[in-house]
A and B are shown apart, each in its own frame.
Chain A
C-alpha cells in the first residue's frame, strides 16, 4: 500500500508539472506580449522594458518556467531592487488585471465552486444511483424502460438548456424560487442551499442521467456473477445480497466516473456558473480570458488539473475499501 501510494503521488506530481509546462508554453509563447498588455496603451519603451524585466519576461522561457514552478513550492521574489515583490508560498504570480495574488483569487472563489459541485454531486448520486439500481433490479419491466428512456433523454439535454428551462419554469412562471445569488454557507445555511438549488438541479439532471445508465449496466453485470448466486443460495435476504454483495462491487465503475466528474467540476463548471452568475472559479477563468490575464488562466488550469488528478487518486484508493477483490 505505501509503495503504491508513493508511486501514485510521484505520478500526480509529474502530471501536474506536465500540465503546467503545456499551459505555460501555450499562454506565454503564443499570444501577444503580456508586458505590453500590462503596460497599457500609452506605454514608453523604457517602461515596457522595465515591466518585462519585472515580470521576468526577458529571461529565456525555461528559466521563466523554472521560476514559476519553484515559486509554487517555496514562494519567490519577483522583480528586483525598487520593484521587488515577495510572493509567498504557494506563489502562482499576480493577476495582470488587479495585481492580486492568483492564489488568493482562487481561494476566494473556491467555496462557491465547491458548494456548486458538491451539492450537485450529492443530488446526482442519489438520483442517478437510485434510478440505475432500481432499473437494474427490475430489468425489462415497464419501470426499467421508463427510467432508462428518461435517462437517455435527460443525458441529451445540454446544461444551458436545462438551466434556462428551470429558470423559466421555477423562477419566472411559478415564482417558487428566487434567482440564485450566492450566499456563503457560514452566513446563512438555509439561504445558501435554497439559492444554490437551481444550479444544483441543472447540473444534477445531466449527470444523474449518465450515472443511471452506467449504474444500471454495471449492476446487471454484477448481479449475474456466480458469487451473487452463492449469496442467494446461502439464504441471505435479498436486501443484504443487493446492498452488501451487489452494490459494493457494482459501484466500482461508477466510482471511477465520479472521481473524474467531481474533479472536473470543482474548477470547470464554466457554463453553469456563467448562466447563474455564480462568482466561482469558472467565472474567474472566463473573465480572465476576455482580458488576457495569463497568470489567472494558468492558475485556474493548474488548479483544475490538480483537482482531477487528486480525485482520481482518491478514487483508486477508495477501490480497496469499496471492492473487497481489489488489493494493492
Chain B
C-alpha cells in the first residue's frame, strides 16, 4: 500500500513536470512556425539590420534594428540604475543591517516586486513624464530615460533579493578569517564577501536583464513608441515587446505583418534564452 502511494505520488509529480516541458515546446514551436514565414518576404539579414519599420505602408518595410536598439538601450539604462541600488541594498541587508531594519527592509523591497507592471506604467506616464518635461525642458517625457528609470526600479527587487541570498550563503568562517587578519568590516565586504558571492550576484544581474528586456507594459506606456534609432537619452524608442503588444491586436492573422511580429518574438525569445543559458552555466560551474 505504501509502495502504491509512493509510485502514484511520483507519477503525479512526474506528470506535472512533463506538462511544463510540453507547454514550453508548444510555445517555442508556435512562435517559430508563425515567425519563419516572414523570411519569405524579407531576408534575415535585412530583417535584423534595416532600421525602417513601416509594416502597414505600401510597400511595407520590415526592419527591426530600431526596435532591437530600443530594447537594448532601455534595458542597459535599467541595469545602470538597478545594479547599484539592488547590490547596495543587498549588501546592507545581508552584512550591515541590524535585525529590526533587516526585518523591515526585506519585505518592503520584495513588495516592490509585487506591484503590477501596469501600475508602474501609469506612474511613469502620469507622474514621471510630466515631471521630466518640467525639470529637463525636454520635448517629450516618454523616452529612453523615463523607461529606464521605471524598468530599473522594477528590476531592483530581483537583483537585491538574489544577491542577498548569495551574500548570506558565504560561510561565516571566511568573514571571521578576514577580520582576524586585521581587515576592517568595509574591506571584508568588498574584498572577501562580495568576491565569494560573485557568481550569485552575476546571475541576479542576468536575470534582471531578462526581466527588463521582456517587460512589455512599462515600455508600451512609457518608452514613447517611436520606431527610430535614437540620437539621445531623451528620445522616444519602440522596444520589441511594445511593438508586438501594440500591433498584434489589429493585424490580420496570416498577413506578412503578423508573421513579422512573430519574427520579433523569435528574436526576443532567443535573447532571453541565451541569458538564461548563461545563468545556468554560471550556477553549474559554481557547484563544481
Do A and B bind? no
Q: Which residues of A contact B (CB under 8 A)?
A: none
